């Protein structure tokens, strides 16, 4: 949403287009909403969603922990004031020397999803706590993360048993139901798998302590999404159902849900044209596209809310494209986007819900376009 503070920033500062503006008050409110919805879970903000130092500092002050994917992200979280015990190295694909560096920096919580990775952690971070990621089917997620990360629950048991054998602390299980998950049942299914791993480990004499329930909490784009409260209730019910009154330590790792709705991109119409005289679909080209920060429009997965000063005028669907010389730089074509017919060159266009997964995805200088500029207010 474009908050009053963001409107005011655009009106008074008139920043050059394109740029992203993030309202820290919204991040603050999102953090508080997660805390309230899942009071017994520790929040590990997924740094990759938006690593702006102001955001990390605010969250560190609020008491957040941090889920990181690289040494650089670990350093950013430390820089923001998080202590090493509040940082996890959550990427399942790590160079051994990066694990060693993280260990040196005091990080003691690592994700794994196979025996090969466990062996690296055992060598480079002896004695560390590890949790094993299990696969989920990603069904119902608008940006699924399935297949690449995790292993089947039966294999997770072997992975964690091997971790214990190598002197690591077999600490728990993690999953990620898929990003922008709007199906409240997804956590129930994943928690059933987590429970199975807990039981199988107990049979081997190892008591796991933690379930990392990952991210996936949605932000509002065009359609309404369930509230943090609704997610909290569904997750709590699922924890009760599968773990009874022996609910383990739990973690959540919101990324999109923490910052998505806090940001708005200001963009500008560069060209409106047609491909033939009798073409009835206009092409609208903006000064931002897939390479400028809107990578999540890949396969038209994420559909942003677009606001113009001409909203209310008659509108018709158009193909929406970016400014670069790559034909992949088209955001919406299979499912054209309705925009006012009066929209014209030079018009300002606001793309809402762009606080997550935009600045970090923008190319450094493709076609000479600068990386997406961002202001945190
Ligand atoms: C990306 C990621 C997250 C954040 O996911 P969202 O869907 O943005 O909440 C959390 N945990 C891990 C391990 C991730 O890779």
pLDDT of residue 291 exceeding 80 = yes
Return the SS3 of 136.
coil
- Per the annotation, the verdict on 318 as an active-site residue is no
What pLDDT score was predicted for residue 190? Answer: 95
Query: Do 182 and 268 belong to one domain?
Result: no
What pLDDT score was predicted for residue 144? Answer: 72
Exposed, middle or buried: residue 51 (CB in 10 Å: 0-12, 13-18, 19+)?
buried
Ligand 1 atom nearest to 260, measured from its CA: 8
Instruction: Answer whether residue 13 is part of any domain.
Output: no
Query: Do 340 and 194 belong to one domain?
Result: no
Instruction: Answer whether residue 120 is part of any domain.
Output: yes
Examine the fold and report which residue of 219, 237, 259 is the final residue of a domain before the chain moves on: 259
Closest CA to 66 of 50, 85, 86, 49: 86
Query: Do 154 and 49 belong to one domain?
Result: yes
Query: How far is the centre of ligand 1, averaged over its atoms, from the C-alpha of 239 (Å)?
Result: 20
Query: Do 224 and 297 belong to one domain?
Result: no
Ligand 1 atom nearest to 174, measured from its CA: 13
Q: pTM higher than 0.95, yes or no?
A: yes
State mean pLDDT over 8-29.
98
HEC string of 10-46 equals HHHHCCCCCEEEECHHHHHHHHHHHHHHCCCEEEEEE
Return mean pLDDT, the chain: 96
Identify each DSSP E strand in 13-133 by its residue range. 19-22, 41-46, 65-68, 87-89, 109-112, 129-133
Instruction: Answer whether residue 247 is part of any domain.
Output: yes
Residue of 19, 151, 318, 325 marked active site: 325
Confidence tier at 250 by pLDDT (50, 70, 90): very high
User: Domain of 333: which CATH number?
Assistant: 2.40.37.10
What pLDDT score was predicted for residue 70? Answer: 98
Query: Do 108 and 207 belong to one domain?
Result: yes
What pLDDT score was predicted for residue 146? Answer: 67
Instruction: Answer whether residue 10 is part of any domain.
Output: no
Determine if ligand 1 sits within 6 Å of the CB of residue 217: yes
Instruction: Answer whether residue 135 is part of any domain.
Output: yes
Determine if ligand 1 sits within 6 Å of the CB of residue 82: no
Query: Do 356 and 232 belong to one domain?
Result: no
Pick the range with the lowest mean pLDDT from 182-186, 255-259, 264-268.
182-186
Query: Do 35 and 150 belong to one domain?
Result: yes
Query: Do 273 and 141 belong to one domain?
Result: no
What pLDDT score was predicted for residue 140? Answer: 75
- Domain residue limits at 348: 261-376
Confidence tier at 285 by pLDDT (50, 70, 90): very high
Instruction: Answer whether residue 161 is part of any domain.
Output: yes
CB 94 within 8 A of CB 123: no
Examine the fold and report which residue of 259, 294, 317 is the final residue of a domain before the chain moves on: 259
What pLDDT score was predicted for residue 332? Answer: 98
Confidence tier at 298 by pLDDT (50, 70, 90): very high
What pLDDT score was predicted for residue 14? Answer: 97
At 113-162, the pLDDT tens digits run 999 999 999 999 999 999 999 998 777 777 776 678 999 999 999 999 99
Instruction: Answer whether residue 15 is part of any domain.
Output: no
Query: How far is the centre of ligand 1, averaged over its atoms, from the C-alpha of 212 (Å)?
Result: 11
At 308-322, the pLDDT tens digits run 999 999 999 999 999
Query: How far is the centre of ligand 1, averaged over its atoms, from the C-alpha of 295 (Å)?
Result: 16
Query: Do 100 and 171 belong to one domain?
Result: yes
| 279: Cβ contacts below 8 Å, ≥ 6 apart | none
* Number of structural domains found in the chain: 2
Query: Do 314 and 198 belong to one domain?
Result: no
Examine the fold and report which residue of 198, 230, 259 is the final residue of a domain before the chain moves on: 259
User: Domain of 204: which CATH number?
Assistant: 3.20.20.10
Confidence tier at 180 by pLDDT (50, 70, 90): very high
Query: Do 328 and 197 belong to one domain?
Result: no
Query: Do 205 and 343 belong to one domain?
Result: no
C-alpha to C-alpha distances, 65 to 104, 209, 252, nearest whole angstrom: 19, 18, 10
Instruction: Answer whether residue 6 is part of any domain.
Output: no
């Amino acid at each position: 949403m474009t908050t009053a503070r963001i409107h005011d920033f655009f009106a008074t500062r008139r920043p050059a287009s394109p740029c992203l503006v993030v309202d820290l008050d919204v991040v603050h409110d999102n953090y508080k909403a997660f805390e309230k919805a899942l009071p017994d879970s520790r929040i590990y903000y997924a740094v990759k969603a938006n690593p702006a130092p102001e955001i990390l500092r605010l969250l560190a002050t609020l008491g957040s922990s941090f889920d990181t994917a690289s040494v650089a992200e670990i350093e950013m979280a430390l820089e923001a004031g998080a202590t090493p015990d509040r940082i996890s190295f959550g990427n399942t694909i790590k160079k051994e020397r990066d694990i060693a560096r993280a260990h040196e920096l005091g990080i003691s919580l690592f994700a794994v999803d196979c025996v090969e990775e466990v062996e690296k952690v055992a060598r480079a971070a002896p004695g560390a706590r590890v949790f094993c990621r299990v696969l989920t089917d990603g069904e119902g997620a608008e940006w699924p993360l399935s297949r690449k990360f995790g292993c089947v629950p039966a294999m997770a048991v072997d992975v964690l048993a091997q971790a214990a054998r190598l002197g690591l602390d077999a600490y728990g299980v993690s999953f990620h139901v898929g990003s922008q998950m709007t199906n409240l049942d997804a956590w129930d299914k994943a928690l059933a798998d987590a429970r199975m791993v807990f039981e199988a480990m107990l049979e081997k004499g190892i008591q796991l302590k933690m379930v990392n329930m990952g991210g996936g909490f949605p932000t509002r784009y065009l359609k309404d999404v369930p509230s943090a409260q609704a997610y909290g209730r569904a997750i709590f019910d699922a924890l009760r159902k599968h773990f009874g009154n022996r609910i383990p330590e739990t973690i959540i790792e919101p990324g999109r849900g923490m910052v998505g709705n806090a940001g708005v991109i200001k963009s500008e119409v560069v060209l409106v044209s047609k491909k033939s005289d009798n073409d009835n679909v206009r092409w609208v080209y903006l000064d931002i596209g897939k390479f400028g920060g809107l990578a999540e429009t890949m396969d038209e997965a994420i559909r942003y809310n677009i606001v113009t000063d001409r909203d209310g005028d008659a509108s018709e669907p158009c193909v929406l494209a970016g400014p670069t010389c790559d034909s992949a730089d088209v955001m919406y074509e299979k499912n054209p986007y309705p925009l006012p017919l009066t929209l014209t060159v030079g018009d300002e266009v606001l793309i809402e819900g762009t606080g997550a997964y935009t600045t970090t995805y923008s190319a450094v200088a493709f076609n000479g376009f600068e990386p997406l500029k961002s202001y945190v207010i």
